Amino acid sequence: MKLFKIRGGVHPHDNKHLAAGQAIEDLPMPALLHIPLQQHIGAPAKPAVRRGQQVAKGDLLAFSQGVISAPVHAPTSGRVMGVGSYPAHHASGLSVRTVTLKPDGEDRWSDEIQGVSDPFALTPEEIATRVAAAGIVGMGGATFPSAVKLNLRTRYRLHTLVINGAECEPYLTCDDRLMREHAEEVIDGVRIMAHALGVERIIVAIENNKPEAQAAVALAASVDPRIRVARLPTRYPMGSEKHLVQALTGRETPARGLTADIGVVVHNGATAFAVHEALRFGRPLVSRIVTVSGGAVSRPRNLRVPIGARVQDLLEYCGGFTEQPAQLISGGPMMGQPLPSTRVPMVKGSNGVLALTGAEAAGHEPMPCIRCATCVQACPCGLVPLDMAAHTRAGDLDGAVSLGLMDCIGCGSCAYVCPAHIPLVQYFNYAKGEMAARGRAKQKMTETKRLAEQRTARMEAIKQAKREAMAKRKREAAAKKAAETAAADAATMTSGAAAEPTATTAEA
Angle between helices 174-181 and 269-281 (to 10 degrees): 50
Q: Do 66 and 141 sit in the same domain of this protein? A: yes
Torsion angles phi and psi, residue 504, rounded to 5: -65, -40
CATH number at residue 464: 1.10.1060
Q: How much is the pLDDT for 363?
A: 76
Q: How many CB atoms lie within 10 A of CB 459?
A: 10
Q: What are phi and psi of 187, to 5 degrees?
A: -65, -35
pLDDT of residue 140: 86
Domain end position, chosen among 332, 352, 372? 352
Q: What is the mean pLDDT of each run of 10 residues along the chain (508 residues)?
A: 91 94 97 95 93 96 91 97 93 91 96 93 96 94 91 94 96 97 97 96 96 97 96 94 95 91 96 97 97 97 97 97 94 92 94 94 87 95 95 93 93 94 93 90 92 94 94 91 85 71 46
- pTM for the model: 0.87
* Last-in-domain residue among 329, 352, 375: 352
Looking at the fold, whether 305 and 339 belong to one and the same domain comes out as: yes
Backbone torsions φ then ψ of 470, nearest 5 degrees: -65, -45
Domain of residue 219, CATH code:
3.40.50.11540
Residues 6 and 411: beta-carbon distance below 8 Å: no
Residues 258 and 399 in one domain: no
One domain for residues 316 and 395: no
Q: How many CA atoms lie within 13 A of 443 on its CB side?
A: 6
* Preceding amide of 211 cis, omega within 30: no
Exposed, middle or buried by CB within 10 Å (0-12, 13-18, 19+), for 368?
exposed
What is the per-residue pLDDT for 503? 46
User: Is 248 within the bounds of a domain?
Assistant: yes
Domain shared by 90 and 63, yes or no: yes
- Which of the listed residues 321, 352, 383 is the one where a domain comes to its end? 352
Cβ burial, residue 467 (10 Å; 0-12/13-18/19+): exposed
Q: Please, what sign has the CA dihedral across residues 207, 208, 209, 210?
A: positive
β-strand 301-306 against 287-293: which pairing, if any?
Answer: antiparallel
Residue 62 main-chain phi, psi, to 5 deg: -155, 140
219 lies in a domain? yes
Total number of domains in the chain = 2
On whether residue 204 sits in a domain, the answer given is yes
User: Which ranges in 268-335 belong to alpha helices (H)?
Assistant: 269-281, 311-317
pLDDT value at residue 499: 59
Q: Would 328 be classed as within a structural domain?
A: yes
Pick the closest to residue 431 from 468, 394, 473 (CA basis): 394
Look at residue 364 in the predicted model and tell me its pLDDT: 83
408 is in an annotated binding site: yes
The answer for residues whose C-beta is within 8 angstroms of residue 53's C-beta and 6 or more apart is 79, 80
Residues 325 and 206 grouped into a single domain:
yes
What pLDDT does 52 receive?
Answer: 95
Q: Is residue 376 part of a domain?
A: yes
| Residue 223 CB contacts under 8 Å (≥ 6 apart), including other chains | 187
Report the SS3 class of residue 231.
Answer: strand
168 is in an annotated binding site: no
Domain co-membership, 216 together with 85: yes
pLDDT of residue 259: 95
Q: Is 411 annotated as a binding residue?
A: yes
- The amino acid occupying position 74 is A
Helix, strand or coil for residue 288? strand
Same-domain check for residues 260 and 317: yes
Does residue 379 have a known ligand-binding role?
yes
145 with 70: CB under 8 angstroms?
yes
327-330 β-sheet, strand order: 24-26, 301-306, 287-293, 352-356, 327-330, 337-338
In a domain, 4, yes or no: no
- The verdict on 220 and 291 lying in the same domain is yes
DSSP 478-499: HHHHHHHHHHHHHHHHHHHHHH
Evaluate whether residue 10 is within a structural domain. Answer: no
Coil vs helix vs strand at 310: strand
Structural domain of residue 141, as residue ranges? 21-105+124-352
The residues that bridge with 205 in the sheet, in sequence order, are 164, 230
CA distance 37 to 60: 11
In a domain, 59, yes or no: yes
- 220 and 297 belong to one structural domain: yes
User: Is the domain of 283 the same as that of 397?
Assistant: no
Does the annotation place 381 within a ligand binding site? no
Same domain, 375 and 299: no
